[in-house]
Amino acid sequence: MKHVTQREYWRSLDHLANTPQVRELGKHEFASYDPEEMKSFGSVSRRRFMQLMSASMALAGLALSGCRRWPEEHLAPFTSRPHDSLPGVPRQYASIYEIDGVGRPLLITCFDGRPIKVDGNPLHPFSATVQGKIGSADAISQASVLDVYDPERSRTVVASGKETEWQLFVNQMKPLASSLAEKQGDGLAFLCEPSSSPSTGRLIAAVAAKYPKASWYEYAPLVSTNEASGIKQSIGRTARLNLHLDKAKVIVSIDADLLGSHPAHTRYAGDWAVGRRTADSGSMSRMYIAESVFSITGTVADGRLPSRPSRLGAILTAVASGLGVGSYPAVELSADEKPFVAAVIKDIQANSGAAVIAIGSHLPAELHALGLAINAKIGAIGATLTLLDAPDSAAGSINDLVTKMKAKGVDTLVMLGGNPVYDAPADLDFASALKNVANSIHLSLYYNETSHLVGWHVPKAHYLEAWGDARSWDGAVSVCQPTILPLFNGKTSDETLALIAGETELDSYSIVQKTFKSILTAGDFDLSFKKVLNAGLVDGSAFGLVNGVTPAAPASITVTPAAANFEIRFQQDSRVYDGRFANNGWLEELPDPLTKLVWDNAALVSVRDAKQAGINNGDILNLTVNGRSLQIAAYILPGQPLGVIGMSLGYGRTAAGNPIKDRELAVGDKVGFDSYTIRTVGSEFVAAGATMAKTGDTYPLAMTQNHHLMDEVGMEGRAERVGKDKYEDSDIIREAKLSEYAKDNKLFQRNEDGSIALPVYPPELFEPPMNYTTADKETTPHRWGMAIDMNSCIGCHACVTACQSENNIPIVGKDHAMNGRAMHWIRIDRYFKGEAEEPSPEVTYQPLTCQQCENAPCEQVCPVGATMHDTEGINVMVYNRCVGTRYCSNNCPYKVRRFNYLDFHSQDPRTDKYPKPYLGIPDQQQMDQVDKIKAMVFNPEVTVRMRGVMEKCNFCLQRIHNTQINKRNAGEELQDGDVVTACQQACPTQAIVFGDLADPNSKVSQWHKNNRAYGLLAETLNTRPRNRYLAKISNPPEA
């Protein structure tokens, strides 16, 4: 009998005996699930075939028994139910997800032991918005739950390409550890991802104590040290900037995508929205941005200057000079730049103490120093900006590591996460440097590009599978709670470090507990730890404020004249981040807010540059920079600065995961173009001197909305509906400038002749009683309604992922997305206004979901009554009644209905254009077709629709009913705000409000009465939508 370590539990005596059969079984979380089983179909014996055929014939003959659909039930009763758990009752756990050293506080919903939904932690200031306690989380965090059930994740420890097991790794590490310990860790190097985790910090210290000569390196492709060094340069110490956009009247951003890609963007977006909400009272914050690639922040900015990255220094210098910060030689500004700089200076001066300037983290350190000096000058520090006492990382850069590796100075390299072979600067050639390392160990969620080249690959536990901890942007410590045991026996970085450090606590729980024993020193530890788990953060653990510093402006700023060649701006992808989420189908199919691209990235080229070079969308370009070239499809983006090619990172993966079954590609394999191949040291974010040439090839780009590529007729029709000029009010997009709206707040209700328009039809079929009192609440049926504030929507797409996760929405793959079959129940329509060639056309987002028309066009045309109103006025779908005539979709003016053209859940999004036809009656157990592991992510509250069925938003009916039932059981009255839809919950700016229209005091009723409220196409079509949009108000600087 083999020795079983103390901490391991055995499942059976066979397991204890560790027989080969059990070892084989243990590789699979689900013994009955065999990814190889599909392959065995080819080898059915003649006898077996006859058996099967005769059995099926006999069954078919039995009164069509083959056509009957009986629910298939799997009973797994608890012989003794785990304490405090009720089957079918969801449980929620506060947790945190750390990406690149910043934790995103979350709330995980579990159903019978499976995490199925990720939301923001409403008790944490960095996901609860200022206005309310609805925890919002960004699309990436929400989609992370899909990764847990990704069957293409790494499942086993791999030693030099051969599958093995964790215990073997542990055994192998022992002699290595002792030999390293003899050398005091000489030749041992660690490459980590940036981390704020106290446990990791503690273990790093422990490892460093054991191996004093070990060297530490940190790398994440999107993390720049410029900001930290700029701040150090300015105030002489490390600090982290925390903006308070809610307090700012004027926000100036120099290429900082505060609302889109900043680590604290969820919080910032909520704060920013506070300044927009006041539009009805006649005042609003104003945001300026000078940026080198069109970002989310740019789309909602009031003053936007598209600019080459090389000009940003000049612009900031001019602003500084105008505000009397530093003394710099006068800079030459172009005709576009002058009015922008003048307006920024004027507005900042007028709003001293209520203005803030933010610098993009990738910009040179001197600009950060200058920015801080400006902020000090304009009274931002302490008001709209606080400096946090955040520690600086002492780890070296990947450049240093590669230098050491090339010099054969590293013989044991431990990579905790990351994928440097894929994403390290291309000129470092990490892959070949890795050959100089004798022992390489790589901990990773996926068997990725790096894993293929290392000695030991160890599967990493997903953050939802193991204990951990992290700090949010403000430094508050949270515990990362596991919600399921590791499906594929993954280990955390902490567990690996603990093993190397020779700690006694080797499992993630003990590691975290040990760390917290030093954090939670006061009182009873168990109680305070439970409190932390419950609230999701340690009270008062945020970084302290840095006060009394006087930022110094740098002596000089390097101002480069505009170059003739192209500049390439590498940016974080709005979906796959830096490539780590490439195997996440939800994210791959999430449309980019601006380009609406799915399953692809592209080189973003400005309209004028494209015209000059004769480029069309989808043309393959040959980009050459620093002696490296990349062939990439072009996407013409209005508003993209001239001479700048925007390019998001993270595509073109070659080993995004282990393809399962008979698949050729993992979800993320060979999607888009690998822009890392031209990204070199020194030009990680901006590469100047690029040339662009057409190759003559074209590439099909999948977009969920492609109207700006339309023919002229379509363009005219589009302009007629959404407005041709900037800020033009139109049928679909209602909007005005703040100055106009402040002058006349009935603006949006006027006819052309100026009179107030009366509703042509009574606006609602069921008006609430005249004198509504709380007593009426009992007797009046709820009238669920929604309102969406287009003024605060930033197009971040968090709601789309929330809906996808909540409502079991499948992904369809590139081919079908290209054919308009994407299944998202809520979509963000993005419209450009103004001339395509103008430097900065206006962008408006309109989240469109089912409008829940009271006079619903879809209901009238359904021949089988599969869509109808329920008693609370929601237009619901009866899936098992639907035969799929699709007439409802045709008659829906908003085109929000989605049809299951194929069995998208069981289809492989990469390799099957059409799934293989499966024999048997298609109306059988659909779930038999869906991968067993993938199926675990389904929300059991929502029907998984089979093919041939129409579906659409139903206002999260399951959430409404659950809340109602719980309230009724508790004997409480349903209050406004009790029912929260998934999209509403996710929205960082709370642009979506949901509630009962029968209650005139509910927030949604108030929004419906707002002067800006309008129903989309409501007057034209008399659909009487239950959704109202609040018109968009812009606050552009007066010319």
Cβ 855 to other proteins shortest distance, Å: 11
If phi > 0 it is left, if psi is from -120 to 50 it is alpha, else beta; for residue 35 that is alpha
Of 827, 746, 761, which is closest to residue 788 (Cα–Cα)? 827
| Nearer of residues 608 and 886 to other proteins, judged by Cβ | 886
Supply the minimum distance, in Å, between the C-beta of residue 956 and other proteins: 22
705 is a contact residue toward other proteins (CB under 8 A): yes
Q: Decide: is 718 part of the binding site for other proteins (CB under 8 A).
A: yes
Examine residue 713 and tell whether it contacts other proteins (CB under 8 A).
yes
Residues 6+ apart with CB under 8 A from 969: none
Interaction of residue 693 with other proteins, rule CB under 8 A: no
Q: Buried (b) or exposed (e) across 436-454, using 16+ Cβ within 10 A?
A: bbebbbbbbbbbbbbbebb
Name the residue nearer to other proteins (CB basis): 71 or 863: 863
- Residue 703 or 986 with smaller CB distance to other proteins: 703
The residue (of 501 and 702) whose beta carbon lies closer to other proteins is 702
Q: Give least dist CB 721 to other proteins, A.
A: 6
Bridge partners of 289, per DSSP, are 253, 304
Task: Name 737's Cβ contacts closer than 8 Å, sequence gap at least 6.
Answer: 727, 1033, 1034, 1035, 1036
Q: Does 846 contact other proteins by CB under 8 A?
A: yes
Considering the rule CB under 8 A, would residue 902 count as an interface residue with other proteins?
A: yes
Residues 6+ apart with CB under 8 A from 479: 94, 95, 96, 467, 468, 469, 512, 516, 532, 533, 536
By CB under 8 A, tell whether 869 contacts other proteins.
Answer: no
Residue 850 interacting with other proteins (CB under 8 A): no
Q: Which is nearer to other proteins, 114 or 905 (CB)?
A: 905
For residue 981, give the 3-state DSSP assignment: coil
Q: Binding of other proteins at residue 1024 (CB under 8 A)?
A: no
996 three-state secondary structure: strand
Which of these segments, 185-193, 231-239, 296-304, 708-716, binds other proteins (CB under 8 A)?
708-716
For residue 734, the minimal CB distance to other proteins (Å) is 14
Select the span of 362-370, 559-567, 674-682, 814-822 touching other proteins (CB under 8 A): 814-822
CA separation for the pair 613, 557 (Å, rounded): 33
Residues 979-1018 touching other proteins, rule: CB under 8 A, are 1016-1017
Residue 884 binds other proteins (CB under 8 A): yes
Interaction between residue 761 and other proteins (CB under 8 A): no
Identify which of residues 454 and 848 has a Cβ nearer to other proteins in the complex. 848
Q: Which residues contact 568 (CB under 8 A, 6 or more apart)?
A: 623, 625, 644, 645, 647, 678, 683, 686, 687, 688, 690
Q: How far is the CB of 832 from other proteins (least distance, A)?
A: 11
Calculate the CA 499 to chain-centre distance.
Answer: 33
Instruction: Give yes or no for residue 525 binding other proteins (CB under 8 A).
Output: no
Element (H, E) at 986: helix 982-986
User: 379, 396, 409, 893: which one contacts other proteins (CB under 8 A)?
Assistant: 893
Q: Is 700 among the residues that bind other proteins (CB under 8 A)? A: no
Which residue among 288, 899, 1014, 1029 contacts other proteins (CB under 8 A)? 899
With tokens 């029709």, the residue in question is: 717
Among 400, 923, 972, 973, binds other proteins (CB under 8 A): 923
Query: Which one of 326-334, 621-629, 720-728, 797-805 is the stretch in contact with other proteins (CB under 8 A)?
Result: 720-728
User: Does the footprint of other proteins cover residue 753 (CB under 8 A)?
Assistant: no
Q: What is the closest distance, in whole angstroms, from the C-beta atom of residue 915 to other proteins in the complex? A: 6
The answer to whether residue 819 forms part of the interface with other proteins (CB under 8 A) is yes
State the minimum distance, in angstroms, from the CB of residue 1025 to other proteins.
12
Q: Is 917 in the site for other proteins (CB under 8 A)?
A: yes
CB of 752 closer than 8 Å to CB of 995: no
Q: Are strands 603-605 and 702-703 parallel, antiparallel or unpaired?
A: unpaired
Amino acid type, 606: S
Residue 534 has a CB neighbour count (10 Å cut-off) of 10
CB of 885 to other proteins, least distance (A): 5
Instruction: Name which of 768 and 948 has its Cβ closer to other proteins.
Output: 948
CA distance 976 to 995: 6
Q: Cα–Cα distance between 361 and 228 in angstroms, integer?
A: 9
Q: Considering beta carbons, is residue 191 or 722 the nearer one to other proteins? A: 722
918 binds other proteins (CB under 8 A): yes
Alpha carbon 373 to chain centroid, angstroms: 33
1022: left (phi over 0), alpha (psi -120 to 50) or beta: left
Interface with other proteins by CB under 8 A: which range of 466-474, 781-789, 855-863, 961-969? 855-863
Strands 439-444 and 456-459: parallel
In whole angstroms, give the CA distance from residue 220 to residue 989.
28
Question: Per-residue string for binding with other proteins, 936-975, x by CB under 8 A?
Answer: ----------xxxxx-------------------------
Least Å distance, CB 723 to other proteins, is 11
Asked whether 272 and 607 are in contact (CB, 8 A), the reply is no
CA 255 to chain CA mean position, Å:
20
Is position 59 an interface residue for other proteins (rule: CB under 8 A)? no
* Whole-number Å distance between alpha carbons of 194 and 650: 18
- Stretch of 55-63, 90-98, 431-439, 705-713 lying at the interface with other proteins (CB under 8 A): 705-713
CB 105 within 8 A of CB 96: yes
Q: Which is nearer to other proteins, 436 or 706 (CB)?
A: 706
> Which CB sits closer to other proteins, 613 or 719?
719
Residue 17 interacts with other proteins (CB under 8 A): yes or no: no
The interface with other proteins within residues 374-403 (CB under 8 A) comprises none
User: Would you list the DSSP string of 878-946?
Assistant: -GGG-----HHHHH-TT---EE--S-TTTS-TTT-SSPPP--S-TTS-GGGTS-TTGGGGS-TTS----
Candidate residues 553, 645, 800, 882; the one interacting with other proteins per rule CB under 8 A = 882
The CA–CA distances, whole Å, from 567 to 195, 325, 570, 690 equal 31, 29, 10, 6
| Bridge partners of residue 877, in order along the sequence | 867
Least Å distance between CB 598 and other proteins? 14
Q: In the numeric block, which tokens belong to residue 431? A: 């892959």
- Tally Cβ neighbours within 10 Å of residue 1023: 23
Q: Which span (366-374, 408-416, 440-448, 881-889) binds other proteins, by CB under 8 A?
A: 881-889
Contact between 488 and 500 under an 8 Å Cβ cutoff? The reply is no
| Nearest approach, Cβ of residue 592 and other proteins (Å) | 14
Say whether residue 707 binds other proteins (CB under 8 A): yes
Paired tokens of 871: 């008693």
Residues numbered 64 to 93 that lie near other proteins (CB under 8 A) are 67
Smallest separation, CB 820 to other proteins (Å): 4
Distance (Å, whole) CA 38 – CA 24: 19
Binding mask 176-205 for other proteins (x = CB under 8 A): ------------------------------
Residues 780, 891, 926, 964: which binds other proteins (CB under 8 A)?
891
The contact set with other proteins (CB under 8 A) reads 67, 705-707, 710-711, 713-714, 716-718, 720-722, 732, 816, 819-821, 827, 829-831, 846, 848, 857, 860-865, 881-887, 889-891, 893-895, 897-903, 914-919, 921-923, 946-950, 1016-1017, 1020-1021
